[in-house]
Amino acid sequence: MKSPNQQMVLTFALQSDGVPTYALTYKGRPVIKTSKLGLELKNAPALTSGFTVADSKQTTFDETWQPVWGETKSIRNHYNELTVNLQQAATSRTVILHFRVFDDGLGFRYEFPLQPKLDYFVVKEEKSQFALAGDHKAFWLPGDYDTQEYSTVTSNLSEIRSKMKAATTPNASQTPFSPTGVQTPLMLKSKDGLYINIHEAALVDYSCMHLELDDKNMVLESHLTPDAAGNKGELQTPCVSPWRTIIVSDKAADILQSKLVLNLNEPSKIKDTSWIKPVKYVGVWWEMITGKSTWSYTNQENIKLDALDYSKVKPNGTHGATNANVKRYIDFAAQHGFDAVLVEGWNTGWEDWFGKHKDYVFDFVTPYPDFDVQELNRYAQSKGVRIIMHHETSGSVRNYERHLDTAFQFMNKYGYTAVKTGYVGDIVPLGHHHYDQWVNNHYQYVLEKAAEHKIMVNGHEAVRPTGLARTYPNLIGNEAARGTEYESFGGNNADHTTILPFTRLIGGPMDYTPGIFQTKVSAYNPQNNSFVHTTLARQLALYVTMYSPLQMAADLPETYEKHLDAFQFIKDVAVDWDATEVLEAEPGDYITYARKAKGKSSWFVGSTNDENGRTSKINLSFLEPGKKYVATIYADAKDAHYEKNPQAYAIRKQSVTSKTKLTQYCAPGGGYAISIVEAAAK
Amino acid sequence: MKSPNQQMVLTFALQSDGVPTYALTYKGRPVIKTSKLGLELKNAPALTSGFTVADSKQTTFDETWQPVWGETKSIRNHYNELTVNLQQAATSRTVILHFRVFDDGLGFRYEFPLQPKLDYFVVKEEKSQFALAGDHKAFWLPGDYDTQEYSTVTSNLSEIRSKMKAATTPNASQTPFSPTGVQTPLMLKSKDGLYINIHEAALVDYSCMHLELDDKNMVLESHLTPDAAGNKGELQTPCVSPWRTIIVSDKAADILQSKLVLNLNEPSKIKDTSWIKPVKYVGVWWEMITGKSTWSYTNQENIKLDALDYSKVKPNGTHGATNANVKRYIDFAAQHGFDAVLVEGWNTGWEDWFGKHKDYVFDFVTPYPDFDVQELNRYAQSKGVRIIMHHETSGSVRNYERHLDTAFQFMNKYGYTAVKTGYVGDIVPLGHHHYDQWVNNHYQYVLEKAAEHKIMVNGHEAVRPTGLARTYPNLIGNEAARGTEYESFGGNNADHTTILPFTRLIGGPMDYTPGIFQTKVSAYNPQNNSFVHTTLARQLALYVTMYSPLQMAADLPETYEKHLDAFQFIKDVAVDWDATEVLEAEPGDYITYARKAKGKSSWFVGSTNDENGRTSKINLSFLEPGKKYVATIYADAKDAHYEKNPQAYAIRKQSVTSKTKLTQYCAPGGGYAISIVEAAAK
């Protein structure tokens, strides 16, 4: 079966032993060689062989839909679908395979219809193969059941085994599950220039998939996350697996533009989405991340939440979320047109919250004595600003669920409209993993409960996104990767943001929290000698290159006040878009995006590159022909360098039209940002 | 240290290697020989040796308290306490041992105070020994992390290993954890006539204790229930273990009269207890247990709760909880003065609820189409009767917690005041056990939430009670043993009810559901050839011998209507008491109780015996001297026999006073019941 444009060709075949296989070519070049499909079950015969094809059919689908928020105003969902009804005669069981071939790739899933001989079953392992055509270059993270907060390693597939150890930093939370296991989205580049991305879509009531590499044959195979009992899925028919996705192109830019993962998710289940709005925010956060202030109100150790009377203990004097400090952020947000202020460390329990597998760790409704929840919300709302709620769970999922209704009612009462959730540390109860089915179902439960309360969710340390925001557009953000916080924990690689849009962002937006202008962390905390591995100009570019409907200006108000010229870009940049163009892209090297602000004529350009300097050459043909615009270019100064001179930037304005070509130097670890405003509109 | 009456003597000593030990004698006879104490921890040095005594003190406590409901109007709590502060110098850790010596036994616990070197810790195993003085006769159940629904085995301790296999019936839910592991409460009798009971009190935020027997040395040692990660306790200081209890006497009756376990629990945490009331009830239940009718409304298999539209499927015609049938029970309850009607199978999901480890198995608020929740509650309340709610969880504890608030609000809305909970099958998520700390905390959560909603709880398949009803008197019942339902599943041993008061009931009341008059189950369901292993007269006796503030008349209305003379006893018998006397007792052979109805002058006597017939001789000296009473005696007929002629009973009346002596024949598997009403009151 071919894609609508005929360039992507899927071949489905049964081997002589009844093993279902598929293969995929793109423009006649092999992408996935013949690869087996199936599942092994616990205490039941495998669903891997002995099949015959009882029936198959091909259909075509073409629709255009409008996302509630997104990179483009509308999205075309156009594919040919092959449905293969497989019968395993020896066991009288049926499995249906669905293949959707898009112009930009393939999605396939298993359907398990309701049937007498397959009602409840336990997945021992899913055996979906992705047989690659060569020893591709891979942008990979070690496979891990609990965290994606790794630096990406760039290497050939054959080098994964030898580089696995060095890919892991001495951090108890990082636990690779095998010498050649990797996470998804996995970005690959073949020697002959094919770009291939493997991930999954619509991860609901199933275990999260990783990939296990057979590095002799270059065959990747699905590896699901086990639960506390070692099971990899406890399913009841009728049910489906998530879609396994393969995005392919000979142009890197096409990978970034693909909407395949979103398209494989169901339309929104939230009918009234009027309360879901992109958010640009500041927050009482970076000052704690750097160690300038603390989440906790006291220096008590080993507390029990119910037993400590906060009115009787001595404050530590370093608490960040105080009334005065929060008001300072609210004033700053209001003055500069931000929608919201995130406040972390507002609630009791932060003295003793981490790493102890504590069950009752937070109650999500009790503020510290120096945080007046009613007054601060009143104050914020009087200035047109909302406070963003923070629910750190410390991984104790039962405790969060027990408090969820009350916590969301509390948010509704005080006017909070968004929550940042956190799952730092091991999942409690122990034995579960951040990405297993039981815990994935927890995130889903929170998301649906939040929707009932008209609350937007930004989930940190939760399972990586798989396009589910199409179905639940209140999922406005996720972390699920190494974010800006690591710039204070030793730093991110200079090429980090040239890779993430090809990997992590394929599943959905990331709350990357850019905007750090004070690149030396020691300026806030003399004990911390980390530094931000980007230039200041690139921090601006990230608002365009790291797509998210939720964007933070993460640095401190007092720092922004020293750089109001550069800060202007963050104030101006949109967080929702009518159109997106990829002007330049090569994973690991550079990415340049242009995006048109939602409902406006202005455009914003952002460019990020790796540790080597480069010259970016773009043309502005995306602008409306015949119109005149003024571009404000926020660029690295000539002597800028992410290590040696990160804060050297230069801002210039120039008139531009759709015929303009721009040449812009980017420093090592640098980049640039441009706002382009219609001249008449000035 | 000695007990208040000097007969119980505790000796505490440190071995030369700093191992703490204790020993216990009663009237100069050894009960517990020198036995070690301590705990092994995970990833930390053991708390078993290397201790010195930093401090110790002795105190005396004497109070009398009034239970909200109970066997007696008031309870004396009188003990001498030895507190030993142990220091483990090598690790700078402190453990405090508390020993409370009562006239009827010993309780001891570990206290772990807040301290720098012991904050969070994981228990690998508790190593509390109970070194016995001989190869005692034991009344034991195989040690199991998930069920106590075993028949009791009576054997010498040395025979446990050889009898373990036969003690287990082919039932997947029965999984003994070792060849010599047994459950508590464990009842023992020494060759020289000492009665010893070992159990625990105040099991809160801790794993349930079993006992592992060293059958060479006759030393029992604590064996805690592991959680899904294999941990046996995840603790944070300050905290305490439950009390380990040893009740001792040379009179069996004293074991039954002991309030030691209750006394070791904290006073009620519920301030207003006016809504907690003993309950005598009937129910739509035995007809499903026997197979006469069904819990489910349809014969659909493999359903998903949200996907099945019950209005569109064919009813099976065997559903028990129909409007008409429930009204029939309500009418019967009202006519005969019962407080309540339990209705099981009222809510959707029963078609597919068991054994599949289903997560979303019930929602606890959606009635079947033929159960009109509003009308039936209105109807019941108009007749002075309440419907008892039923929440079967199928072991899916997260699902229950997710629905708990809504389910309790639903109960409040319709006027339900009590709930029977159930945890049939494996705990979901898999890997957890019915008796592990995480799941124990679930039962506690339900109990406390229920108290907030003024709901009484009767927990089936939950952890065995440990006197916690003193602290939470809304816990009016538990199952946690083989109840009357097994009379329909093959039968209970004829001596079953001569043992349970010495074992299971030491921890708290049991919802044993007696009152089965139709002893042949085939009368209700021709396919079921089980029979009740007692005479009808003994079914009456159980209302007195199986103490509970919650008593069911479990048989069907149409059966009671055929035996209204015998049924009169069930109508008359009290469910709350001012005083209790044990007139005769020998575990495994017979028990005869007399109890004085709460706030009244009437007394009720019940006697149960084993498979051998016997003649009970009692004197009624417990009656108020000088007063005249009329006794109605419900006895086995001369030819009664639990197998051959169970329904043969005889009822006679006679005048009695405190000087009366009664001699009463009891059939094999039989017993008798007496109501004694003040003559003047007639």
Rounded to an integer, the average pLDDT of B640-653 is: 98
Tens of pLDDT, residues A600-621: 999 999 999 999 999 999 999 9
pLDDT (0 to 100) of residue B434: 98
Q: Which residue of B has its CA nearest to A426?
A: B229
Q: What CA–CA distance (Å, rounded) separates A479 from A459?
A: 6
Across the interface, of A114, A234, A302, the residue whose CB is closest to B357 is A234
Check CB contact under 8 Å for A429 and B429: yes
∠ CA A334-A337-A338 to the nearest 5 degrees? 85
pLDDT (0 to 100) of residue B672: 98
Candidate from A168-172, A395-399, B157-161, B614-618 with smallest mean pLDDT: A168-172
Work out whether strand B418-422 and strand B456-459 pair parallel, antiparallel, or are unpaired. parallel
* Catalytic annotation, pick one of B71, B461, B485, B487: B485
**Phi, psi dihedral angles at B430 (to 5 degrees):** -60, 150
Check CB contact under 8 Å for B301 and A119: yes
CB contacts < 8 A (A, B): 80
Among B525, B538, B532, smallest CA distance to B570 is for B538
CA atoms within 13 A on the CB side of B359: 16
End-to-end CA distance of chain B: 52
Check CB contact under 8 Å for B302 and A237: yes
Q: Is B485 a catalytic residue?
A: yes
Enumerate the residues of chain B whose CB falls inside 8 A of the CB of residue A426.
none
Q: What CA–CA distance (Å, rounded) separates B629 from B657?
A: 6
Tens of pLDDT, residues B300-341: 989 999 899 999 999 999 999 999 999 999 999 999 999 999
Tens of pLDDT, residues B11-69: 999 999 999 999 999 999 999 999 999 999 999 999 999 999 999 999 999 999 999 99
Q: Compute the nearest-CA separation of A409 from chain B (Å).
A: 13
Q: Which residue of B has its CA nearest to A442?
A: B398
Enumerate the residues of chain A whose CB falls inside 8 A of the CB of residue B229.
228, 429-431
Q: Which residues of A are catalytic?
A: 485
Cα separation values, A524 from A356, A555, A558, Å: 29, 11, 11
pLDDT band at A169 (very low <50, low <70, confident <90, very high): confident
Q: Which residue of A has its CA nearest to B446?
A: A402
**Phi, psi dihedral angles at B391 (to 5 degrees):** -120, 90
∠ CA A543-A546-A547 to the nearest 5 degrees? 90
Complex ipTM tops 0.90? yes
Enumerate the residues of chain B whose CB falls inside 8 A of the CB of residue A401.
398, 401-402
Q: Compute the nearest-CA separation of B235 from chain A (Å).
A: 9
Across the interface, of A114, A357, A438, the residue whose CB is closest to B302 is A114
Enumerate the residues of chain A whose CB falls inside 8 A of the CB of residue B436.
none
Check CB contact under 8 Å for A234 and B304: no
pLDDT (0 to 100) of residue B187: 98
Enumerate the residues of chain B whose CB falls inside 8 A of the CB of residue A430.
227-229, 231, 234
Cβ neighbors of A271 (< 8 A, separation 6 or more) are none
Which DSSP letter does residue B144 get?
B
Among A144, A223, A228, A175, smallest CA distance to A432 is for A228
pLDDT band at B680 (very low <50, low <70, confident <90, very high): confident
pLDDT (0 to 100) of residue B682: 47
Q: Compute the nearest-CA separation of B221 from chain A (Å).
A: 26
Across the interface, of B237, B431, B441, the residue whose CB is closest to A229 is B431
Determine what percent of chain B is predicted with pLDDT higher than 70. Answer: 99
Contact status, residue B447 vs residue B472, Cβ threshold 8 Å: yes
Contact status, residue B361 vs residue B346, Cβ threshold 8 Å: no
**Is residue A171 pLDDT above 90, yes or no?**
no
- Map residue B554 onto helix, strand or coil: coil
Across the interface, of B119, B398, B441, the residue whose CB is closest to A302 is B119
Which residues of A fall below an 8 Å CB-CB distance to B?
Answer: 114, 119-120, 227-229, 231, 234, 236-238, 301-302, 304, 356-359, 398, 401-402, 405, 429-432, 438, 441, 445
pLDDT band at B172 (very low <50, low <70, confident <90, very high): low
Enumerate the residues of chain A whose CB falls inside 8 A of the CB of residue B401.
398, 401-402
Check CB contact under 8 Å for A356 and B236: yes
Q: Which residue of B has its CA nearest to A305?
A: B236
Check CB contact under 8 Å for A357 and B430: no
Q: SS3 sequence, A164-195?
A: HHHHCCCCCCCCECCCCEECCCEEEECCCCCE
**Is residue B246 pLDDT above 80, yes or no?**
yes
Tens of pLDDT, residues A395-444: 999 999 999 999 999 999 999 999 999 999 999 999 999 999 999 999 99
Best residue in B42, B206, B398, B405 for a mutation probing chain A (most A CBs within 10 Å):
B398
Q: SS3 sequence, A97-112?
A: EEEEEECCEEEEEEEE
pLDDT (0 to 100) of residue A518: 98
Q: Compute the nearest-CA separation of A396 from chain B (Å).
A: 12
> What's the mean per-residue pLDDT of chain B?
97
Tokens of A241: 């697996």
Enumerate the residues of chain B whose CB falls inside 8 A of the CB of residue A236.
302, 304, 356, 358
- Map residue B614 onto helix, strand or coil: strand
Which residues of B fall below an 8 Å CB-CB distance to A?
Answer: 114, 119-120, 227-229, 231, 234, 236-238, 301-302, 304, 356-359, 398, 401-402, 405, 429-432, 438, 441, 445
Check CB contact under 8 Å for B356 and A119: yes
Check CB contact under 8 Å for B357 and A237: no
Q: What CA–CA distance (Å, rounded) separates A75 from A264?
A: 12
pLDDT (0 to 100) of residue B532: 97
Across the interface, of B229, B301, B302, the residue whose CB is closest to A431 is B229
Rounded to an integer, the average pLDDT of A172-188 is: 94
Q: Compute the nearest-CA separation of B439 from chain A (Å).
A: 10
